Structure 1
Amino acid sequence: MQRTLRLTIAVLTALSVLLTLAFAFVLAPGKASAGVSYETYYKDQFGQLFRMQSAYRPSGVLGDTIRIPDPNNPGETIRSPLNKPQDLFVDEEDQIYIADTGNNRIVHLDEKGSLIRILEVPDSPLNGPQGIFVHGNGDIYIADTGNHRIVRLDRDGKLVRVFERPQSKLIPDSFKYDPIKLVVDKRGFLYIATLGGYQGLLQLDTEGRFQSFFGSNKAAFSVTDAVKRLLYTREMYAREISKLPGSITSVDIGTDGFIYTVTKEVDRAQIKKLNIAGLDQLAVKNEQTGKKEERSFGEYSWALADGSLPQLNDAAVDGDGNITVVDTKLNIVSQYDSNGNLLFFWGGQPGGGTAKRGVVTMPSAVETNSQGTLLILDSENHMIQTYRLSEFGAIVHKANSLTQDGRYGESEPLWREVARQNAYYSPALLGLAKAAYQKGEFQRAEELFREAGWAQGYSDSFWQTRLLWFQNQFGLLMNAALVLLGLHLLWRRLRRRIPASLKDRLAVWRRLPTFLKELGHVSALIRRPIDGFQAIRYEGKAGIASSMILFLLAIGSYGVMSSGTNFVFHPESIVSASVFPGLARFAGIWFGFVVCHYLVSSLKQGEGRFRDVFYGSAYSLFPFLLLGLPLTLISNAMTLNESAIFLFLENGLYVWVALLFFWQAQGIHNYSVGEAAINILLSIVTMAVCAVLLFIIYSLTSELWHFIYSVYQEVTIR
């Protein structure tokens, strides 16, 4: 009995220990997110989102315990918190300056957050300052927004001069001089962002004279605007609401002298890196067209954004040129390298009405110090949150800096470690690919560039591989060409000596099945398409079997083109999970056209029957088989240098198919050119109307089903 009791106690003790350990394991935070209240993500160039380990970790809070001397009790201090601060600046000694907007002052802290002094300019009090900049010589520039001016102080805080609104005929009378942010270059020239200043940054010289508007954005121009400009009279167009470019909300300057601007109300080029001529250095060359295009910045995931679009507010540039931007709407921090390529982004929404460590409620400004620490100003919680690089983030920064400098060999072991920690991080693959390319390992570089989805790098690597292959195989290729030429000449001589009776015995065309002969009618469509379609209608040159074979072969060829074309020409093929949705759309559009085309032609005195339209539409797809498959095969031996040839052939294929559909309308229905054009146009319009009707029917049917199911649930429950 005692033995049984002891055994029972031992089993219960063991179970309790196991349950305790299980609960501890379940409730314990993961290693990657320990102490972090937000998630970190990376988004590749195809828009695929990857969750990753933290690149930055919260390290502390500054500016939340500011104390100043008590004017009523000498020797005592009182708490004087920040009040809706709007900007901060970190100087070369990592000292911090805060534009304390609500308190009409500048707060100067040391690198640890201890108060050094308060700048209030008693000779000319500040009024809602929103911007602060400290020059290398120690001069302090303040965007005194409420007083419509720029204030310059010396390093001791004494007023040196005031920059009022400049006088110039080039500045319109409607321009409002409300400075919100500013930077000063090495020459002492001021670049001022003004509230609502869509003209760009206001550039002043050292004496406050107007020089130019710098780095302005472009106004959006849509197809609707083009139609309005074409159709409206001058008076009507003048009454339209003017479309203005987005105004710059923030400005920063890097150690390299480039001016960085941030704009909210635009969907592209939210961040610009401007040289002295005002040209954006973050614009990239399109790999297909070769033209420079503006990129879109400001990252988000649906888990963080909840459907909202980014609203970037401020940017900071570190010593390596990495650009960090904050989003006031989504509370997301995004970081890019010096070329504008995404490194990572993170963020989170505060919950329960309480502030979380590392989660900023209203980020109004961001800065970075010489140690790589990020400082983000929270205007709602009236403090600065600081973030230090994690081990992973530090490796990424170091490796990327070496890569940007062209030191690929030194960066390779670092990128290898990054890839070991996160195999889905594309910058690591790109870094390894560039290192392999530099070492002459072109095949490995080709594989890595493809895995990373970088078309230009893959194309360059493949060009080198192809060149080496041709050099090694040139002799064999020439010998093969000579042998084929000799065989061709020999066949031509032997063919002339074959007796006519033997030729008749060898001719198999007459013994082919009917549907194979009908397939041969494609050759007539190549030579004389209109006559060929007329033969389908009046001479029965096509049948259901041959038409279905051509349709299935065409749709199969389209699938091969979609998935098998070299990814440098169709980059989306890398991330396409399946070709079946594309094939379904292809078949749906084709069948919809057949039905609508027949219905329209019935009303427009067309002579073709439904089966004739079906046969002719199927035969019109043969270019996908005749040209699409060889083009897909050839594309895998081409580089971006031959993109013009590929695009010419690909566009030619679709133009050829469109012309065959047009000639089919002429031949089968006996239409003139004008009648065929009207018929095709009406068929397309009918297809659009049918698509809308099908969508409405589907929506109503879905709603009806949900209603019936809800009623059924109510009845069964009660």
Structure 2
Amino acid sequence: MFRRLQNMKAHLLVSLCCLIGVSAGGTLVHAEDGASSYNYSFWGDTVASPAAYQATDLLSGPDLGIGPLKEPSDIHVTPDHQIYVLDSGNNRIVVLDEELRPVATIASFERDGKADTFLNPQGLFVTEDKQVLVADTGNKRVVHLDRNFKLVKIVEAPESELLKENFVFQPVRVIMDKAQRIYVMATGVFDGFMEFNADGAFTSFIGANRVFIDPVEYFWKRLSTKAQRSQMVMFTPTEFTNLDMDDEGFIYATNGDSFGNNIKKLNAQGNDILRRTGYFNPQGDIRFSIDLGPSRLIDIDVADSEMYSVLDSKRGRIFTYSGDGHFMYVFGGLGNQLGEFKTPAAIERVGDDFLVLDKALGEITVFRTTEYGRTLNEAVRSYYRGEEEKAFQLFNQTINRNANLEFAYAGIGKALLRQGDYAEAMKHFKRSMDQKNYSKAFLLYRKQVLREHFATIMTLIVILAAGALAVRKYRKTMGRKRGVSIE
């Protein structure tokens, strides 16, 4: 609770600085209104950054040869780069290959010998072996199909003592792990994700968001009457807005929390284990105007090496973070130009490239990496794999292109730390304001110096001790000659 309040105070302080510092320079306006690339410094200032991604293609349904897309809501890419698009308004799933050519269309499936269809589906997930799960929202169910689009099972409204009597099952997002457990994000559920076993039976909730209590409002609630309390905001957890799963089975999720905890990484017990060792908690924009407010994250995509990207619906921006929580780069925006959106709904990676789905326009924007983006991605991957020398070289190339990327200096410092070059590591940790690792490097450097010069130091100590004894003996001898006793 104490850490939570500290985070809240830090967040409010940054917001206050934003309000009173609007005219203090161009950096805030650049982050709030522009769609250009930027980073945040240790002090929370927006600083210029080279573009990590550039929009190269804008594709509509007719461009893809599949007819107009009507309010598409989700997109998923398989390991072999097949692309599944959930065309919600047309109640179908469109499958494309890596070159964005149509492969198949799933508009119905056979159930009990009859054709069954989707109704306003909102969520889609495809496993490594290409089993398809659909959050069939309008039909209040989850549909599980095999790789040939044959029905495996239907997950419908569960019966449980954990659910209210008037509970209405409206799934909007769904994922499945390697053990065939299904996790569902449902409308109006504040207890976390609904977990179903391999047979489709409801087992429990997982990962419920903690309730944030405003101390002032809580105080007034204690003093108010029953009628007054009924008019106040209830202390309920925030709903999740999306989820994804990495190769190890950890669930990454976004929620409506606006105090820097709107991204989570959940283990099997539902505990949040996301590392937040960057200058600021991963949360989208940390500087914003009071009119538009903080980022609202509505989708998350997990890549290799624990990198993950989130989509901000308020500004149409895609933020990417390393596994340690360092802000790597941002791209996108709202507008009418290539690389901007009207209503961004979902993001997915195809290798190192990105696909962004625009729900209102029924279009897919393709973003491809620049040289800077490829170098930074590979630097983070190399560090994650423990390839110190390669990470050192790539991070150096990165800061040659972007001296404002302060966490890259920490990456160089960590690589040097692993190589045993503690003195040079200290310099880079100081540049990146990484006090924890600076202290670690300093202690190791001190031990190294003592170890290397131990013989010299001990010799000096012995010489000084011997000299002190000789001086003392000399003084005693001279004192006796003079008839003076020297202690």
Residue 244 of structure 1: aligned partner: 236
Query: 1-side partners of 2:321 and 2:359: how far apart?
Result: 24
| Distance in structure 2 (CA, Å) of the matches to 1:306 and 1:406 | 44
Q: Indicate yes or no: 2:358 matched with 1:372.
A: no
1:618-633 map, 5 Å: none
SS in 1 for 2:305: coil
**SS of alignment partner, residue 62 of structure 2:** coil
- 1:417 matched to 2:414: no
Local SS of the residue matching 2:144: strand
Look up the match of 2:84: 97
Structure 1 residue aligned with 2:39, among 42, 47, 62?
Answer: 42
Aligned to 1:445: 425
Amino acid at match of 1:387: F
Classify 1:273/1:477 alpha carbon distance in 2 versus 1 (closer, same or farther; 3 Å).
Answer: farther
Asked if structure 2 preserves the Cα contact closer than 8 Å seen for 1:141 and 1:153, the reply is yes
Report the counterpart of residue 340 of structure 2 in structure 1: 359
Aligned to 1:5: none
Given the superposition, is the C-alpha separation of residues 408 and 388 from structure 1 closer, same or farther in structure 2, using an over 3 Å criterion?
same
- Aligned residue identity for 2:281: R
Shift of 1:239: 7.0
Q: Deviations over 1:96-148 (max 9, x none)?
A: 11111111221222222222222121622211100111123332111011111
Specify which of 160, 167, 183 is matched with residue 168 of structure 1. Answer: 160
Q: Select the residue among 387, 406, 412 that pairs with 1:426.
A: 406
Distance 1:329 1:284, change over 3 A: closer
Summarize the alignment of residues 525-674 of structure 1 with structure 2, pairs less than 5 Å apart.
none
The residue aligned with 1:281 is 273
**Structure 1 residue aligned with 2:98, among 104, 111, 123?**
111
Out of 285, 288, 298, the position equivalent to 1:299 is 285
Q: Is the 8 A contact 2:282 2:327 kept in 1?
A: no
Q: Distance in 2 between matches of 1:285 and 1:334?
A: 16
Amino acid at match of 1:420: N
1:223 and 2:210 matched: no
Matches within 5 A, 1:257-276: 257-276=249-268
Residue in 2 that maps onto 1:325: 310
Supply the distance in 2 between the matched residues of 1:468 and 1:158 (Cα, whole angstroms): 64
Q: TM-score, normalised by structure 2?
A: 0.80
1:174, 1:466 → 2: CA distance? 66
Change over 3 Å in CA distance of 1:422–1:283 after alignment to 2: closer
Q: Is the Cα contact below 8 Å between 1:166 and 1:208 reproduced in 2?
A: no
SS in 1 for 2:330: strand
Q: Deviations over 1:347-393 (max 9, x none)?
A: 3331xxxx311112211001112x22111101122111111111111
Amino acid at match of 2:238: G
In the TM superposition, what is the alpha-carbon distance from 1:395 to its structure 2 partner? 0.8
CA deviation after TM superposition for structure 1 residue 172, in Å:
2.5
Who is 2:370 aligned against? 390
Structure number with greater CO (CA < 8 Å, separation at least 6) is: 2
Structure 1 residue identity aligned to 2:308:
I
Choose which of 335, 338, 343 in structure 1 pairs with 2:323.
338
Deviations 1:25-51 (A, max 9, x none): xxxxxxxxxxxx941111134312211
| Alpha-carbon distance in structure 2 between the residues aligned to 1:272 and 1:477 | 55
Matched, 1:154 2:151: no
TM-score (norm 1): 0.55
Change (3 A) 1:428 1:277: same
CA distance in 2, matches of 1:119, 1:127: 13
Structure 1 position 217, deviation (Å): 0.7
Query: 2:119: which partner in 1?
Result: 127
Counterparts of 1:101 and 1:91, CA distance in 2: 20
Cα separation, partners in 2 of 1:306 and 1:343, compared to 1, 3 Å: farther
What pairs with 1:71-86 in structure 2 (closer than 5 Å)? 80-86=67-73
Question: For 2:254, what is the secondary structure of its paired residue?
Answer: strand
SS of 1:416's partner is helix
Equivalent residue letter for 2:123 = G
SS in 1 for 2:61: coil
> What SS does the aligned partner of 1:320 have?
helix
Alpha-carbon shift at residue 469 of structure 1 (Å)? 5.2
How far the C-alpha of 1:178 sits from its partner, in A, is 1.0
What amino acid sits opposite 1:48 in the alignment? D
Which position in structure 2 is the counterpart of 1:214?
Answer: 206
Mapped contact 2:64–2:101 kept (Cα < 8 A): no
Structure 2 distance, partners of 1:126, 1:212, is: 26
Distance 1:153 1:329, change over 3 A: same
Structure-2 change in CA distance of 1:348 and 1:235 (3 Å)? closer
- When you count helix as a share of all residues, which structure comes out higher? 1
Instruction: Give 1 or 2: higher strand fraction.
Output: 2
In structure 2, which of residues 292, 295, 301 is the aligned counterpart of residue 310 of structure 1?
Answer: 295
Structure 2 CA distance for aligned equivalents of residues 266 and 428 of structure 1: 27
Question: Per-residue deviation at 1:160?
Answer: 3.1
- Partner amino acid, structure 1, of 2:260: R
Secondary structure of 1:397's counterpart equals helix
The one-letter amino acid of 1:100's match is D
**Do the aligned partners of 1:282 and 1:295 also contact (CA within 8 Å) in 2?**
no
Pair member with larger Rg: 1
- Provide, for residues 198-217 of structure 1, a one-character-per-residue CA deviation record: whole Å limited to 9, x for no partner: 11111001211111111111
Distance in 2 of aligned mates of 1:431 and 1:131: 37
CA distance in 2, matches of 1:420, 1:151: 50
Q: Counterpart amino acid of 1:110?
A: D
**Residues 128, 146 of structure 1: 8 Å contact kept:** yes
CA distance in 2, matches of 1:468, 1:141: 56
Q: Which runs of 4+ in 1 moved over 6 A?
A: 233-236
Q: Classify 1:296/1:409 alpha carbon distance in 2 versus 1 (closer, same or farther; 3 Å).
A: closer
Match of 1:255 among 238, 247, 250: 247
For 1:160, give the aligned amino acid: V
| Distance (whole Å) between structure 2 residues aligned to residue 126 and residue 358 of structure 1 | 31
| Structure 1 segments unaligned to the other structure (5+ residues) | 1-36, 69-78, 288-293, 491-718
Aligned pair in 2 of structure 1 residues 238, 412: CA closer, same or farther (>3 Å)?
same
Aligned to 2:30: none
Counterpart of 2:87, as a letter, is: D
Q: CA deviation at 1:470?
A: 5.7
Cα distance in 1 for residues equivalent to 2:434 and 2:368: 30
The number of equivalent residue pairs is 427
Return the letter of the residue paired with 1:367. Answer: E
